[in-house]
Structure 1
Amino acid sequence: MHDESDEVEPANPERLIYFSDAVIAIAITLLALELPVPSGDVHGNRGVLDFMREHLTEYVAFLISFTAVAMHWLFHQRLFRYAKGLTGGAIRWNLLWLLMIVIMPFATKLLTSQADAFQVQFILYATIQALAGLFLWRSFSALQRSGLLRAHTPPLVITNTLSWIAAVILTFAASIPVALVTHSASLCWMLLPAVRFALRFVRPGRR
């Protein structure tokens, strides 16, 4: 026999949101901790400036990764603020998304290391970024399929946010084959706004 008291209510999304926020904060902190600082053999203003110029690549990579993590956090909070429950699929995809976020400090350090393996370093970093976007997309899609969005959810906010996530996936994925032929593949990442703009005209159901 089936009784209404046996129904299992959807999990509270606030726990997942708070947990995700904490993981992202840790990832950003780890990014900052990896920044090179002058050692005891660096003296004077000129010495510090020379040291910072020598490690400019690491500082730029930090800014790129910080922007990427912050962007993923923004996507997450824009989408999951409208969740009224969670499914097992949404939780699993969200955990995979957080795995990519946690790996980003390692990938950033590897990208700027002295190892002579540009393709491996670059492709690993770009793959992590693309997978992070894909996993976040799948996590939210699980909520949509289960009807676990609040009634007042604004369709335009959801559509715009998902189009940005799609642009992230496409931009970083497209840079991977480019890295096989040139060391300037990172310039592809600058096309992210253009890719996002182009997606506005291919979006299904666009009026």
Structure 2
Amino acid sequence: MLKIYGRDSSINVRKVLWACAELGIAFEREDWGAGFRPTSEPAFLAMNPNAMVPVIEEDGFVLWESNAIIRYLANRHGGAALYPLQAQARARVDQWIDWQASDLNRAWSYAYLTLVRKSPAHGNAQQVAASIADWTRFMEVLEQQLQHSGGYVAGAEFTLADISVGLSVNRWFGTPFEHPPLPAVAAYYDRLTERDGFRRYGRNGMA
């Protein structure tokens, strides 16, 4: 059986949990990370020397990095509907997965750590404002994409890209500041909520 190492409050662990829900994969999960067993323990470092969650193990195969994990799960467990085999369609999915991991994540990090996590190391008002401005700019990119994509990030059908981006959209709405109107993003958020996996691991009260 698939084993997942990481606390379920982690946005990156939740990517993996949601992917498992979409793919119908049974799993066991162990709590590791903040508030649980420290990822600095030798047993965890032997699996991931970066000391970060999530990590998975399946039939002796160990893998870390959430986006690599969800791609692997789709490839391994018949998820071509979520991760297309055709080169251009797959590249479009990869484009948005990588955009979420790089541009979008970097933008929201400081504001989220200040406004939600209440991190004492992230209380600079100017940096919060700059983070919100950058975050908003990238969310406007998503708004434009959703206005003509056909309903989901990479096109008309739900894909792995929506798992990565959808959890960031949940974080956008769950972070307390004045949000500009983004009607296509709001409709997308409601559309995702129709999916059981998102209700369980995305729009479930955790930002």
User: TM-score, length-normalised on structure 1?
Assistant: 0.30
Q: Which has the higher strand share?
A: 2
Q: Which has the higher helix share?
A: 1
